[in-house]
Structure 1
């Protein structure tokens, strides 16, 4: 009997299909969740174009670009890790997953640096907002949405890092093989979600204002 087969499944393919279906359903709910936030951002940007453009110009384009590169690189390395386990290369697969998690931590550190800089500039609504002028109120709306969207995304990155470290440890212990690596696939799908959300956040928040 397959050691990885749960009692309520008939065979490994059925178990994998159920797990993948559950993960895709979760991803669908997350897409709806972030979709509503991004839709709210688009509507408010249309309603307050000057304030949102000014707010976007206050974001750190360099750090945002580095964060984007870090996340995209981490997604590629995660795919390498999945391929390595399919080739029965557990050690290199474990290393790839650990590197992916490390890049996730790097992303969080970089984004934390942004938050610290924005605090010193007085760009955090209700905490320390020191901006004045005709567009100060609409720019405050921009930063409210900015912190909600990027904060929730960072939370997802943090959850992903913890998940990857657990998967890496299980990989190191030999729990996965070319015949069973469903948890690793699911972790890869989750990390792809983190990447894709940021691909929409980066141009909308960082690039739009700096290109104006």
Structure 2
């Protein structure tokens, strides 16, 4: 069922009882997943914090030799811009503007791909220099933390592609709107995690 009314998506409390229950239940369930994901990243940050010392470099590259804050700054710009683009898609969603949603999501996808491209280029340069996850405990923690976030970004981009198809095919049905709102939470969370990575890994590594 399409829930657009008078050309706009009504606020959650204006939905019928059925739509309110579906969207509310799916959003609550997704928040529980997000909490578990936050615990995962908390563990990864803790592991990195323990292993980021010179003694854990095993004679290989140290933290200051591995992190590239300038490249990470561009990545930060890309991921935050992607979140902004998706926010514009959300504004279009509230107005029932299907074209605006599609354009905003396409921009978010493009910027997300730029982020992943920069990350892969950074990984390639590290591998070329002999800095791999098998070199030391520090590099293992570094690669696992960054790659885990990168895999979440890949999942988010695939999710966006699926939602693009659903928006074009089904419009703004209750199920589609619920998924778009959950995707917004997921994408914003990934941006927040990356900001933590940028500060805790890349900026701290230059000190």
Listed as ranges, the matches of 1:137-148 within 5 Å are 140-148=136-144
Question: Which residue does the alignment assign to 1:34?
Answer: 41
Q: How many pairs were matched up?
A: 191
Question: Which residue does the alignment assign to 2:197?
Answer: 201
Listed as ranges, the matches of 1:175-194 within 5 Å are 175-176=171-172, 181-194=177-190
List 4+ stretches of structure 1 deviating above 3 A. Answer: 49-54, 177-180
Listed as ranges, the matches of 1:27-176 within 5 Å are 27-45=34-52, 48=53, 54-126=62-134, 129=135, 140-176=136-172
- For structure 2, the residue ranges without an aligned partner over 5 or more in a row are 4-16
Give the Cα separation in 1 of the matches to 2:101 and 2:2.
Answer: 21
Give the Cα separation in 2 of the matches to 1:91 and 1:3.
Answer: 16
Answer whether contact 2:98 2:167 (CA < 8 A) is retained.
yes
Answer whether contact 2:2 2:171 (CA < 8 A) is retained.
no
**How far 1:180 sits from its partner (Å)?**
6.6
Q: CA-atom RMSD, angstroms?
A: 2.3
Give the Cα separation in 2 of the matches to 1:65 and 1:174.
Answer: 38
- For structure 1, the residue ranges without an aligned partner over 5 or more in a row are 5-9, 130-139
Answer whether contact 2:153 2:190 (CA < 8 A) is retained.
yes
**How far 1:120 sits from its partner (Å)?**
1.2
TM-score (norm 2): 0.84
TM-score (norm 1): 0.82
